[in-house]
Chain A
Amino acid sequence: GEDVEQSLFLSVREGDSSVINCTYTDSSSTYLYWYKQEPGAGLQLLTYIFSNMDMKQDQRLTVLLNKKDKHLSLRIADTQTGDSAIYFCAESTGKLIFGQGTELSVKP
């Protein structure tokens, strides 16, 4: 079945790197996504990676995809307090299946 799993919490210090991990089950996923949700807001599409890529970099964000292990990660370099939010990974199987979300807390 379709299932996307993430750890629920991550706490880092300002200036450090954050790595949020995700595992998924459907190997036929075309795209894999990272969304950010700030308190009281909708979801913001942060970045995505096509399934035939293994890495994508976009400014402070680096996405790594290990298709063999069905593992996706999001690295945020130089994490800032404004990065505090819930981060959702999602796989695309004709519809988007979301993980439970990882709450990132950035301490000054």
Chain B
Amino acid sequence: SAVISQKPSRDICQRGTSLTIQCQVDSQVTMMFWYRQQPGQSLTLIATANQGSEATYESGFVIDKFPISRPNLTFSTLTVSNMSPEDSSIYLCSVGAQGTNEKLFFGSGTQLSVL
């Protein structure tokens, strides 16, 4: 299993501002995944962050709104830009076993509230 540290654990932000969420893994992994969990909902994949290339975004998510950095094999950031109350969610970072997209392990998440 992987140990995933995510910060901040929670934040309350004003409409129109941006927040950058950091994810640190205790081992080198090729793929890191960012998920969103809206209140009372299931998890939705935002994007896959590959080291050395641009992130791959899922339908309904765009780079301008959710820019992602992946500077090395143990770290990634997700920025939630120009926030609105609809962005209030839990954002989760995850990695797969042995660098795959299987058997995902999750960080504890960032609880974001936008006023």
Contact = CB atoms under 8 A, between A and B. Distances in A.
- The answer to whether A and B belong to the same complex is yes
Interface of A: 30-31, 33, 35, 40-45, 48, 88, 92, 94-96, 98-101
Contact of B101 (A41, A88, A94): A94
B97 to A, nearest CB: 9
Contacts of B108: 41-42
Contacts of B4: 42
B102 A31 contact: yes
Interface of B: 1, 4, 6, 33, 41-45, 48, 58, 92, 94, 101-109, 111
10 contacts: A42-B106, A43-B43, A43-B106, A88-B42, A94-B101, A95-B101, A96-B45, A98-B44, A99-B42, A101-B42
B94 to A, nearest CB: 8
Contacts of A33: 103-104
Interface centre among B4, B45, B58, B102 (most CB of A within 10 A): B102
Nearest to B90: A42
A42 B4 CA distance: 10
A30 B102 contact: yes
Q: Which 3 A-B pairs have the closest CB atoms?
A: A42-B106, A42-B108, A43-B106
Given A95-B48, A95-B101, A98-B42, 16 more contacts: A35-B106, A40-B111, A42-B4, A42-B108, A43-B92, A43-B94, A45-B105, A48-B103, A88-B43, A92-B102, A94-B101, A95-B58, A96-B45, A96-B101, A96-B104, A101-B42
Nearest to B56: A95
A23 to B, nearest CB: 14
Contacts of A40: 111
B6 to A, nearest CB: 8
A98 B109 CA distance: 16
Contact of A100 (B42, B45, B58, B106): B42
A21 B103 CA distance: 20
